[in-house]
Amino acid sequence: MAWLMYRNRNPAEQQPYDPTKKTLVLLGTGWGSTTVLKNLDTENFNVVVVSPRNYFLFTPLLPSCTVGTIENRSIMEPVRQLARHKQREVTFYEAECTGIDAERKELTLERRTHSDDLQVSNARPPTAPEDVVTLKYDYLVVGVGGTVNTFGTPGVEEHACFLKEMPDARKIRRRLMDAVENAAFDDISEEERDRLLHMVVVGGGPTGIEYAGELHDFLVDDLAQWYPALARRVRITLVEALPNVLPAFDKKLIDYTQSTFSENQITILTRTMVKEVKAKSFVVQNGDGSRTEIPYGLLVWATGIKAQPVVNRIREQLPATQTNARGLLVDEYLRVKGARDIWALGDCALSGYAPLAQVASQQGKWLARRLNAMGSAAAADPATDIFAEFDAARPFKYSSQGSLAYIGSEKAIADLPLFNRNITAGGIATFWFW
């Protein structure tokens, strides 16, 4: 143990860049790309990592950071720390890939050394010409994830908070406390006070459910002590366009979640679609087709994802095979259809699996093993058809490890596979398992 701790703080000397090796570029530092990096044998490649985020983010715990349950840094792992422990030097560029020339095997990068503006919205800040650079590659792994999907709803970009990156969590925390502090002033109307203390979550998937649960705990455990006169007036509303929340979970768990939210006085509006978000209110279309305008103090948008701009650039390079606007179509070997030397994994890849962290992680481990085998084969015999070796391997197959979600009040739900059947559970014991 002492040796491992010493080696972690004092990694061994790394092999330098080798011009005889192929260049492998990893786009992104999410679950897929980071898992590839962790498991990749860098002795066989010159590895370059490109991402506007210079750390890996443990996203399942991001809702906990919005209310201070977990310290932000505890779910962030620096990419350079991972890279420093590889056998060969790994180059990292804090940049966003904005273009690709698949025929010339060349990427266009834009430096993003101040990336908070990029991460908290879909808007791209202006880039100076000197911040645009190009990068050559031999092999490319695309793991850029997705970006927030507003579904074209007016006002979302301007007024809502997202929950996808660490800057989002910090922004939510700031907006939440600002709303409560403003509600503490005596010179405002009771109507305005109620508006400020109305917290809204749009999206009934795991992210929205977990944030609503964390917000409730923050209200009960902290706000009730800090603002006893205001805490009892705080309202939490969750809005979902579908007939029920958590559509991917077992019905018993859905019912248990709704019952728990009811006990915690969290209002759930199902079959309710947000049509517009304004600075102090939002407009919904109810199940009967009528519309209602609802005031709010904080609105968190957690409804889903869409393709990143660079994914669309790759699709434009391969119009004959990339025909789905939701992401990159890949084969059973995670290879981008229409390209022999580009792989995609995680949320940006349309592989037939749900956009989950565990899917991307398993894809990353599988792809790293195949790339290691491909690199070893090329090192042993440069004349080897490495792509034929790759195709001869067993295709990727996802193995579900189940689903977990925290729902507040130290309760969680679990849907776990066991002996060809699913086991469902919910409650305090499940929270400790979570």
- Please give the full DSSP string across 337-381, using - where no structure is assigned: TT-SSEEE-GGGEESSS-S-HHHHHHHHHHHHHHHHHHHHHHHH-
Distance CA 320, CA 317 (A): 9
Confidence at residue 112, expressed as pLDDT on a 0 to 100 scale: 80
- Specify the 3-state DSSP secondary structure of 141: strand
The per-residue pLDDT for 378 is 85
Quick one: pLDDT at residue 172? 98
Place of tokens 């994830």: 145
| Residue 386: per-residue pLDDT | 80
Half-sphere exposure of 133 (CA within 13 A, CB side): 10
- The helix-helix angle for 31-39 and 357-380 (nearest 10°) equals 40
Helices (H), 184-250: 190-196, 206-218, 224-226, 228-231
- Cβ(283)–Cβ(311) under 8 Å? no
- Cβ–Cβ < 8 Å for 383, 57: no
Put simply, whether the predicted model's pTM sits higher than 0.85 gets the answer yes
3-state secondary structure of 213: helix
> Residue 295: exposed, middle, or buried by beta-carbon count in 10 A (0-12, 13-18, 19+)?
middle
pLDDT at residue 195, as a whole number:
98
* Of 327, 248, 317, nearest in space to 32 by CA: 327
pLDDT (0 to 100) of residue 221: 94
Q: What is the pLDDT of residue 366?
A: 97
Under-70 pLDDT residues of the chain: 1-8, 113-129
* The two structure tokens encoding residue 402: 């189940």
Looking up tokens 């009730």, which residue turns up? 224
Please tell me the predicted confidence (pLDDT) of residue 295. 98
Cα dihedral sign, 422-425-430-434: positive
How far, CA to CA in Å, does 363 sit from each of 37, 39, 53, 57? 12, 11, 21, 17
Residues 215-269: pLDDT tens digits? 999 999 999 999 999 999 999 999 999 999 999 899 999 999 999 999 999 999 9
